[in-house]
Structure 1
């Protein structure tokens, strides 16, 4: 009789652990895992090493081609293989045929954000936080995973505003795409560790409104992205930026305002690619 009672008790415990509803809930609420984060030594010459982690997105979402179109100033339209559209540093000036699924913003200047976005936009991600806290985004939309790394910006009269800018990172089709926003200060080792690998980098080039060409070139060199897309200003300032890079980089002016990129088509040698309109 005692043995039968113990058997029933053990069976009941097993059933509770096997089918307890909290288990399923916990799995669903687990934060997504970045495929672009990296382990790096805390030195300027560090080489990022990818690590194996459970995928945040289905395997099918790790394939395909991403379209990137320069709309103007710091706004790019990123279109994923799964039909998600993302507009960076969205200010409402540069319109698309359909409202983007997601927009990101930074508030260093009015040309980088709007407080009255199109209500049809499903997700509006501010690069600044509320009540002095940094912005913290971990969003999966369709086949895209979007996260941010906060940075400080300059404020009036020589001051500094903590966490007023965000570097937004878009993980799509196995690619790591980063937009530096309105970056005012060179990044430190903690930023580089939080960013991880960036295959495509959107970098402000303006001769000093964000950072000077020399400072920005050091950031670009440290990130070692395969495809580098200048933004923010045009003309001779872009040429000054290109002149900061030697033969280790290819440089090219596009004949259009768009580029299609996949893991397979990434250039083997880093390419600074100036889209039409920049």
Structure 2
């Protein structure tokens, strides 16, 4: 019915959407959208290092994103600058260093557009195994860390008092984000990863009555966006990655229409987690 490449793209994209849904919810609850961007931008530095030292691309991106996360945690502890200022510095520095390094490597042919916007139609069966294998791992980790992550999102002091180690939960969350970005880069690209993290979760928030339902809904909405975006891209001959984001945006706009009752997620997740991360 469809070409093999389209079926592979669909399977990989849906796997990715299911994985990033719950993570996206935590990004929204913790007000860490800018953090997601910073991690994604650091991916290009990972690409440059992998080309320079002939390393595995995914491993290289994961290591750089993890190092950027740890740098952020260390700089936050020093408290000299606000978190959003630190994120701005790290994000643009990592992206720019990556671009400068790539420019110096004249012996390497690099498809920058491919890395920035991904190429979901070029995924191989090995990529699908990676997406689903890595995705299952990430989802198991989220289920295992759900209570400490949620508690530290709602009230870090209370989570600390209950012995749930919110700092450690936060570190694990950042490492999971680094892993997802490493997996997602080839499929949706550096610039579109954050959209897939945030837009489905923001759409799910409108209908969810509990944090768990919001996490599941975010995955479902992400999968719908991937499906709609890919079919749209096939029909209108538009680039696949941006088409998926446009489909996600369309679903978000639909969710704003005044029908049904708004979910009670706000009562379940109080925005007491102070400050802008």
**TM-score normalized by the length of structure 2:** 0.29
The structure richer in strand per residue is 1
- Decide which structure has greater helix share: 2
